[in-house]
Structure 1
Amino acid sequence: MKFYNRVSELEELANLHEQSASSGRMTVITGRRRVGKTILALESAKSAKHLYLFVSRKAEALLCQEYLDEIRRIATLPVIGEIRTFRDIFTLLIELSRTERLTLIIDEFQEFFSINPAVYSEIQGIWDRNKATCKLNLICIGSVHSLMHRIFQDAKEPLFGRADRVIFLKPFSIAAIHEVLTDHGHHDTQSLFDSYAITGGLPKYLELLAENRSLTHKKMLDFILKPHSPFLAEGKNLLVEEFGREYGTYFSILELIAAGKTARSEIESVLEIHSGAYLAKLEDEYALIAKHRPINAKPGGRLQKYYLRDNFLSFWFRFIYRNLSAVETGNFGYVREIIERDYATWSGKLLERFFHDLFAASGRYNRIGSYWERGNKNEIDLVAVNDLRKELVIAEIKRNKSRISLPALQQKSERLLQEYQGYQVEYRALGLEDAAEFLRSKEDGMT
């Protein structure tokens, strides 16, 4: 698949590469696996002298031998003694970059924790002494969010404050997913939404589906639900290492949230545990869930729900993990029946998020959210606010928009409108067919 999107990230990396002509620059690229971090780094460096080093779990001396072979591909090495530590490799690369710019990409940077945790303090010492006099453009890539956060954003760690930029790479936008699908002959908004809901815009997943000509709802499920499908074990592959021994408890919480148990009290009533610490870690340390509050809620208010940030993981926990026994016995027909029965209900909330993302991408509103009152009364799917122009959009979202009553929506909005006196209000009924309006306006803005 060709390289899509990432315009702003490439511009930022190009600027940092230019700055490294006068002194060293350190950039961190993080984000969940399959989001395209490595491809982004290599794309940014393709026209520059660069070196790519992958940190695999093996003895440090063996890694260094591998790295020396890679270094010899791009440079003539001076006469050196035996190199068995990454400290010596890094010192060598600093010396090579004194006269010529060099982009060094270190992938799976967090793996040094397993090999030799002292590497981080060694890099810090070498970097602090040499940054001002070298021309090294250092890009550190990591997939395990908790460890990368600890390495670069924990004040107690040696590399805290050393990164010139931290780029948290997000999945593709809806516009980018639309571009991928259009290039593969799919122009309909239904395929666009299903790709958004099931893949979450993860480039690797879209690439897999595109390569296998599986970009419609039916063909996606055909590809996902078959023996040896790479999607079946994906949730475990992504998260077991993150969670360690307690992964079972974390998985149970995520399964409940994906199934619609979005309040802490609901989670605790099912699992019979105090979930506060787990939820806090899932939100702050692992960045897998987030709190959802009414748009006008005060900070710290108790009116809140949890949701999974990652659409694919929501799908995986709701349909694959929840039916793991059937998956492991190869009863994919049963799982398919469950998905067909519950897909509309599960994806209903994602359809709301789909329009939230479209409204956000339009650039017309400074606040976008939803609204409900205590007891889940007077729920409103979308509220978009432009405080500068005093404009307010209040919308209900359904697959079949003919079922939406605007007078009923106006009635549900009465209490909300008390906080927006003097605003021009537009009430809207939104269905999937309305996505084309936002995609056209985005294309018009690019021409």
Structure 2
Amino acid sequence: MFLNREAELTSLQQRFDDNNAEFIIVYGRRRVGKSELIDQFIIKNTGVRILAREETKGLQLKEFSSELTAFFGDTHLSSVVFPDWDAIFSYIRSYKNKRVIIACDEFPYLVNEDPSLLSVIQYHWDTWLKDSHLFLIVCGSSISMMEEMTMRYESPLFGRRTGQYLIKPLRFTDILEHFPDFNTAVKHYAVFGGTPAYIFKAEKDKDIYENIISRILSEDSILFRDTEFILMSEVSEPRYYFSILRSIAEGNTTPSKISQMTGLERSTVSKYLQVLMNLQLIIREIPAGEPLKSKKGQYFLSDNYFAFWFRYVYPYVKSIEMGNGRSLCVEEVKPTLQAYIGRKFEGCIEDLLWKFNASGLLPFRFHSCSRWWMKEHEIDLIAFSDTDVLFCEVKWQEKVNAEKVYANLLVKSNVFLSYHPEFRDKHYLVIAKTFTQESGIASDKVHIWNTTSLEEMYRRCRP
């Protein structure tokens, strides 16, 4: 299945239609949908995606020779194996005036086998490719390697790329229509996250707990070990990274707390946190209204499935391997899953608010939206423009007393406003699955939305 990626496809298509030479870098971690994006792009145009394999240079050249000559219809060359990468590009040069896409998938496999390929591409780009009509794509699953090979100053390819696309997991608003109803979408997105290969493993008409048991807490499931494989392919000291990620998943979100739990030196933790951020595995959040260099930052796993895996799978790997997945779900997952989903629900709401913001469905257009905290006070989301501010409280609960939540939100918002008096208009939003009563406080400044309201507003955003 293929969901969304509308922005990436539109951008790629615009580049293709411009008819200029292109050298595009597509990268992102495994299973995030890079290859499918390229295939969808090729389907609408003309091109070929060649998947590199981790094998000898001779076999790689044989595969590329066969794929390229077949694509260009040169049947008389079907048995020819070009001797080196220079010969491959010299062959491609004979088609330099054609508007076709040539995509090399898992590009790092080729460079690992023959590092000189980077210089070969540099030479051909500088001498003729940049003046051709060809659309060249290189794609890879190791974020660190792709950046090192194609974007850093030391690389022969530095300055040659015409564009790059870091493919990230899908957002909640991208997968919402994949599920039969809003609440089911929230639960599954909170657990399986936005990686297409993960979210599509969940059977959307099944109970969330059954999906967790069969798709995650089973030794034969691809999801059981995939997080581990991804990390080990990206980092050189996985045991330290695993410890740090587990610590964050369990609620230790500052370097000092992570250091205390893991026993690692504070300086070591800081170094590894930076690597994990570069790999798009964690994010650093600062309270709303704080400067970017604020020392109040906290660290969170950026992907819901990674957060679930480190919270509920990694500590119990041996038990799952012994076939205890179902009992583990009953004893460890069920008692705390609703609280876990509640935290992820805040992220779903943030996605929706940005969607509503773009469609003009909110009282004003904001340019920032994030969580805020100060000592014992915390507000789930604060969205603001230069003059307006929206305070939002999010509850993943049924029969919520809206008046009580609003009263508490009002107290906390006043603390925020005492430090940020620049906002002229104040708005308030309380969100829950359902409410006991909601009409008494609703006004043009106070908004009460249940999940039905959210779903209806989302429909208004769709074309």
TM, length-normalised to structure 2: 0.87
Aligned to 1:117: 115
Q: Partners in 2 of 1:398 and 1:358 — Cα distance?
A: 15
Aligned to 1:407: 407
Q: Which moved more, 1:423-432 or 1:304-313?
A: 423-432
Q: Partners in 2 of 1:116 and 1:35 — Cα distance?
A: 26
Aligned to 1:199: 192
Q: Partners in 2 of 1:315 and 1:155 — Cα distance?
A: 37
**Residue 83 of structure 1 aligns to which amino acid in structure 2?**
F
1:69 equivalent in alignment to 2:66: yes
CA contact (8 A) 1:177 1:195 kept: no
Q: 1:137 aligns with which of 121, 127, 135?
A: 135
Q: 1:233 aligns to what SS in structure 2?
A: helix
Aligned to 1:446: 462
For residues 293-442 of structure 1, the aligned pairs below 5 Å read 293-336=286-329, 337-363=331-357, 364-373=365-374, 376-387=375-386, 390-400=387-397, 401-402=400-401, 404-418=404-418, 419-432=420-433, 434-442=450-458
CA contact (8 A) 2:104 2:138 kept: yes
State how many pairs are aligned.
430
Q: CA deviation at 1:220?
A: 1.7
Q: Partners in 2 of 1:410 and 1:280 — Cα distance?
A: 36
> Structure 1 pair 91/322, CA: closer, same or farther in 2 (3 Å)?
farther
Q: 1:4 aligns to what SS in structure 2?
A: coil
Q: CA deviation at 1:159?
A: 1.4
Q: 1:298 aligns to what SS in structure 2?
A: coil
**Residue 42 of structure 1 aligns to which amino acid in structure 2?**
D
Q: Deviations over 1:87-140 (max 9, x none)?
A: 3223322x1322322210111112234211221121111111112432210111
Identical counterparts, % of pairs: 25
Q: CA deviation at 1:250?
A: 0.3
Q: Deviations over 1:303-324 (max 9, x none)?
A: 1210011111111111111211
Q: Partners in 1 of 2:123 and 2:206 — Cα distance?
A: 49
Q: Partners in 2 of 1:426 and 1:47 — Cα distance?
A: 45
Q: 1:393 aligns to what SS in structure 2?
A: strand
CA contact (8 A) 1:394 1:427 kept: yes
Q: Deviations over 1:297-350 (max 9, x none)?
A: 123221121001111111111111121121222211342121112212323321
Aligned to 1:239: 231
1:266 equivalent in alignment to 2:263: no
Q: CA deviation at 1:278?
A: 0.7
Q: CA deviation at 1:82?
A: 5.3
**Residue 442 of structure 1 aligns to which amino acid in structure 2?**
Y
**Over the residues paired in the alignment, what is the CA RMSD in angstroms?**
2.1
Runs of at least 5 residues in structure 2 that lack an aligned partner in the other structure: 358-364, 435-449
Q: CA deviation at 1:417?
A: 1.0
Q: Deviations over 1:190-234 (max 9, x none)?
A: 211012111212222232224xx5554133213222341111011
Aligned to 1:169: 167
Q: Deviations over 1:355-413 (max 9, x none)?
A: 1121122223211011111xx321111111132xx321112222223375222221122
1:29 equivalent in alignment to 2:26: yes
Q: Partners in 1 of 2:69 and 2:315 — Cα distance?
A: 50
Q: CA deviation at 1:44?
A: 0.8
Q: Partners in 2 of 1:238 and 1:199 — Cα distance?
A: 16
**Residue 344 of structure 1 aligns to which amino acid in structure 2?**
Q
TM, length-normalised to structure 1: 0.90
CA contact (8 A) 2:50 2:104 kept: yes
Q: 2:239 aligns with which of 238, 248, 258?
A: 248
Q: Partners in 1 of 2:189 and 2:80 — Cα distance?
A: 53
**Residue 220 of structure 1 aligns to which amino acid in structure 2?**
N
Aligned to 2:285: 292
1:92 equivalent in alignment to 2:91: yes
Runs of at least 5 residues in structure 1 that lack an aligned partner in the other structure: none
CA contact (8 A) 1:355 1:435 kept: no
Q: Partners in 2 of 1:438 and 1:92 — Cα distance?
A: 55
